[in-house]
Structure 1
Amino acid sequence: MSETHPTPNRTVLEMTQSTKIFVWLALGGAGVGLGLALPWLLQNAANWPIPYLDVLKFLGTIDSPLMVFGRPAMLGLVGLVVAFFITHEAAKLTLTDAEIRITEGDDSRIVTREQVGGVYRKGGKVRIESPEGRVLFNDDVEGGGARIAEAFIAHGYPWEGTLTGPRAAHTSQGRK
């Protein structure tokens, strides 16, 4: 689910617009669904060990038009706000043969080739370390392991992770 824009001298790894729209719809829809289900959940909370249970049950009984329509609308809006922050803060890596530009939200920084000692995946995250072992970047990057590995290898960065699949065989043969 990454958008890779290869040009002769750069590759951009970022969240695609369709993935962003999916996140917005999923979280907005989850908020609306919670707003619709909240009265039922609160009414059936009688067996749960929750403090202020009577207050919560009372809130679940309010069925004024403002609450019936307002609750799903407000929780849907909260879901959209959370989705915006998730998609806005997603890491974008612009790779060239000389540097890696890391953009997260409105912040951007550059890691030069000389600063990179190794790149690999750890869990679901991409980790860039200096030759001394200092962590320069450790976050999620959209795209899947093979595509991310191909991008770093294509620009000559020291990829230390394993490669799998048919793309990996082609990539590793091309770099020998």
Structure 2
Amino acid sequence: MPAMRWQAERMDNETVVSDPAWATAVMWGGLPVAGAGAAWALQAAAGWLASLPWVPFEGPLNLVASVADAEPQATIGALAIGGLAGLVLAFIGAQETLSVTVAGDRVLLGRGDSAQEIGRAAVTAVFVDGKKLVLQGRDAEEIAREGFDLSADRLREAFVAHGYPWATGGDPYRSDFRRWVPDDPDLPGSAAAVLKARAKALDKDDKTDIKELGTELAKLGIVVREEGKRQYWRRTRQHS
């Protein structure tokens, strides 16, 4: 999704930072139309593409070309399949989009059908780490680390407006991180095993496992972040 899409609204002493309504409408309307157009173009050009020696998937293209003469069924089918694919992509995009509601007593992080509410008293620092919004707690633990596609400036303005401690320089404990290597003697055995599993999840780009294993590490008093496929870790203040 485009990085500059955002809106910030003040509602009953809350500030909501999210994608604007027009961007949502474009996503739900534009992706099905684009999908239908792409499917129609593929159906119309399948025979020609299959004749090119350097184009892969000759078999599937020939199959598409073989039914292309059955008009208008072929065109209707292509438009329907492409439109449905666009709707699926729009649904996935909506589920992955973060919205942030900031109030004086709480923060609400919403993504799809799930939401995380964090009390103001638990938050000691808020900052952006690359394209991740991070809320830090009293023991230097990370209460939340959420990827976002919103304006970092608008997020900062929302938190500062409600009195949250925004860390302009980023993570106050960044210098405490050290790179993870297998068999690090300073890691407890359980944390070492989880970091090893998380490294495999990073290689596979398995976002669900990456997040769940990060949660397991947090229970063990380990904060983890990554740069590409490299993992870095530190202990929370309670476990240091």
TM-score, with structure 1 as normaliser: 0.76
Work out which of the residue numbers 11, 16, 26 in structure 1 matches 2:30.
Answer: 26
Secondary structure of 1:6's counterpart equals strand
Q: CA deviation at 1:3?
A: 2.9
1: CA distance between counterparts of 2:149 and 2:158? 12
Work out which of the residue numbers 99, 113, 125 in structure 1 matches 2:106.
Answer: 99
Moved over 6 A (4+): none
2: CA distance between counterparts of 1:99 and 1:128? 12
Quote the residue 2:76 is aligned against.
69
Quote the residue 1:56 is aligned against.
61
CA 1:44/1:6 → structure 2, altered by over 3 Å: closer, same or farther? Answer: same
Q: CA deviation at 1:55?
A: 4.0
Q: CA deviation at 1:49?
A: 6.4
2: CA distance between counterparts of 1:84 and 1:153? 32
Quote the residue 1:136 is aligned against.
144
Q: CA deviation at 1:95?
A: 0.8
- Whether the aligned pair in 2 keeps the contact of 1:93 and 1:102 (CA below 8 Å) is yes
1: CA distance between counterparts of 2:136 and 2:156? 15
- Whether the aligned pair in 1 keeps the contact of 2:46 and 2:61 (CA below 8 Å) is no
In structure 1, runs of 5+ residues without a counterpart are 163-176
Quote the residue 1:168 is aligned against.
none
1: CA distance between counterparts of 2:154 and 2:130? 16
Secondary structure of 1:43's counterpart equals helix
In structure 2, runs of 5+ residues without a counterpart are 170-240
Q: CA deviation at 1:154?
A: 0.7
Counterpart of 1:58, as a letter, is: L
CA 1:36/1:114 → structure 2, altered by over 3 Å: closer, same or farther? Answer: same
Q: CA deviation at 1:44?
A: 1.4
2: CA distance between counterparts of 1:146 and 1:25? 28
2: CA distance between counterparts of 1:161 and 1:110? 23
Can you list the C-alpha shifts for 1:141-161, whole angstroms capped at 9, x where unaligned? 53x222211101111112123
- Whether the aligned pair in 1 keeps the contact of 2:100 and 2:109 (CA below 8 Å) is yes
The CA RMSD measured in Å over matched residues stands at 2.4
1: CA distance between counterparts of 2:59 and 2:92? 34
Whose RCO is larger (CA < 8 A, sep 6+)?
A: 1
- Whether the aligned pair in 1 keeps the contact of 2:32 and 2:85 (CA below 8 Å) is yes
- Whether the aligned pair in 1 keeps the contact of 2:49 and 2:61 (CA below 8 Å) is no
1: CA distance between counterparts of 2:35 and 2:55? 24
- Whether the aligned pair in 2 keeps the contact of 1:92 and 1:141 (CA below 8 Å) is no
Identity %, equivalent residues: 26
Question: How many corresponding residue pairs?
Answer: 160
Quote the residue 2:6 is aligned against.
2
